[in-house]
Every structure is written in structure tokens, then in C-alpha cells.
Structure 1
């Protein structure tokens, strides 16, 4: 029995410091975890502030750019083409054309090449048409870009049989695709 008590005393003498050290290690881990959580929280706050500041700067830049862009500025480069009607077509006075006839009409450049179609007509409350939105580019209706042009920049032609209406502009498809996108 004396041996048993001696062995137990030696075992306890060796184990107690290790057991006490285990509690100390747990406290160090808790402290380290707490410090890491605080550092992450502080970093997240700084990132949030930076993102908010950047978003404000981008918003200001977009607003300044939008203020500089007016429909008259963007559309003034487009003038009515000086072309003769194709065979079987005659020049049409814009005042004689209805909204229904214009919507979906094909648009051609000065070289009589198809570049898009009219997707939207904008009129004043009096009914006078002011702007035509032309969908240009894309493939099979996918990826088209709507651009707004003054109604005065179009030259209209109607087929002799009265069934087809063509709209011509003096710009190329590439020039239209480089214009700002119309957003309704």
C-alpha cells in the first residue's frame, strides 16, 4: 500500500502542473481569439467606410457626366441624309406619318444599308413627334442598343404601293453604336 500511495503522489505531483498549464493555455487562446475578433471587426469597419466613400465618388462622377450629356448634344451630330429615294419609293413629309407607321420601321444609313429599327417614338403632349429610339447592333434581337435621335435627323421614304416605310439617317451603324444608350 505504501508503494501505491507513493506512486499516486508522484503521479499527482507530475500531473498537477500540466493540468494547471492547461487552464492557462485556454485563457491565452480565449484572449488571442478575442483580439483577432476585434481586429477583424475594425478592419471590416474600415473597409465599409472605404467602400462608402468610393461609392459616393463614383456617384458624383456619374452625376457630373450625366449633367454634361444632353439629348441635343448627343443628337446634334446626326443630320438628315441627302439621298435620293430608292426605286419604288418616294420621299414622305414627316408630318404625314403616323406613330403606328413609324414603330418597327427599318432604319438605313446613307448607303442604304439596314442598321436597325425604330423601337420607340417620343412625342410632345400635342402629339408632335420629337425623338425616335433606334435599336442598333446585336444579332437576332440579342444585344441591341437603343439610341435616341431627333425626329428631324431622319428622312422618310414610302413604297409606291404605300405598304412599306423606310427611315434613313446620315450616320453609320458604328457611329450610332458609339452614342450613349437610351434609357427610358
Structure 2
């Protein structure tokens, strides 16, 4: 019995450095560095979206993240002071977000009218997505 305990202790002692090495290897890639072209979410939330005619067509209210990547912008269309708002999810490819160094200002544009966005399938903050 004593030999078994000594063998188990020896195996445990030998296995510990291997676990430490494995843990170090899996943490590689944990951290990233922000690039000058990256955007922080707080710069997007509340940003008005305008179209080519410089008409405000909606406001980015939230971000949809799927599998760790931006899958859509939740855009508020219509309504006044939160009453009668209609939410739609817009593809990130449909919205062009820019930052002007001169103006120190973020802008968002897309090729759509307010009526087109109102006609899009509605997203509702309910169930797992309730606020």
C-alpha cells in the first residue's frame, strides 16, 4: 500500500509541470492590441445613421454579437422619445462607419430610407434579449 502511495505521489509530481506547460501554451493569443482602425462599442451606441440624402434614417441602439464577431447593428427607426420605436437588425456590411480626424467625430451611413428600415423585419427586446 505504501508503495502505491509513493508511486501516485511521484506520478502527480511529474504531471504537475506538464499541466503548467499546457496552461501556458493555451493562454497564447488571449490578449489583442487595438489597431487605429478598430472601433469601441461606446462610439457606436447612439450614433445616428444617415443616408446619401443626408437624412437621418435610424440610430444604432445595440450590437448583435454572434460567435465572437459583430453580426449586426440593432437600429431604432421612427418613434419619438422612445415611444413607437421600431427596431431592426442591420448587417454590418450595410452600414459604413467612419471617423473624421479633423472633426473628431464618428459618422454612420447606409443606402436606405427610413421607410425601407420600417418595412424590415422587426426585432423585439423580449425573452433572452429583454432589457
- TM-score bucket of the superposed structures, by smaller chain: 0.5 to 0.7
1:111 deviates by 1.2
- Equivalent in the alignment of 2:74: 133
Structure 1 contact 135–145 (Cα < 8 Å) conserved:
yes
- Partner of 1:147: helix, strand, or coil? strand
Deviating runs (4+, > 4 A) in structure 1?
A: none
- Equivalent in the alignment of 1:101: 43
Larger Rg: 1
Task: Provide structure 2 residue ranges, at least 5 long, that are not aligned to the other structure.
Answer: 1-36
Q: Provide the rounded CA distance (Å) in 2 between the counterparts of 1:138 and 1:105.
A: 16
Scaled by the length of structure 1, the TM-score of the pair is: 0.44
Structure 1 contact 121–132 (Cα < 8 Å) conserved:
yes
| 1:94-130 Cα distance to aligned partner (Å, 9 max, x none) | x62122211111111121211221001012343x211
Task: Provide structure 1 residue ranges, at least 5 long, that are not aligned to the other structure.
Answer: 1-94
Going by fraction, where is strand more abundant, 1 or 2?
Answer: 2
Paired residues in the alignment total: 89
Q: Provide the rounded CA distance (Å) in 2 between the counterparts of 1:114 and 1:98.
A: 22
Structure 1 contact 106–165 (Cα < 8 Å) conserved:
no
* 1:160 equivalenced with 2:101 (yes/no): yes
- Equivalent in the alignment of 1:61: none
1:150 deviates by 0.7
* 1:121 equivalenced with 2:63 (yes/no): yes
Matches within 5 A, 1:44-123: 96-123=38-65
Comparing both chains, which one has the higher relative contact order based on Cα–Cα distances under 8 Å and sequence gaps of 6 or more?
1
Measured on the aligned residues, the alpha-carbon RMSD in Å equals: 1.7
- Partner of 2:81: helix, strand, or coil? coil
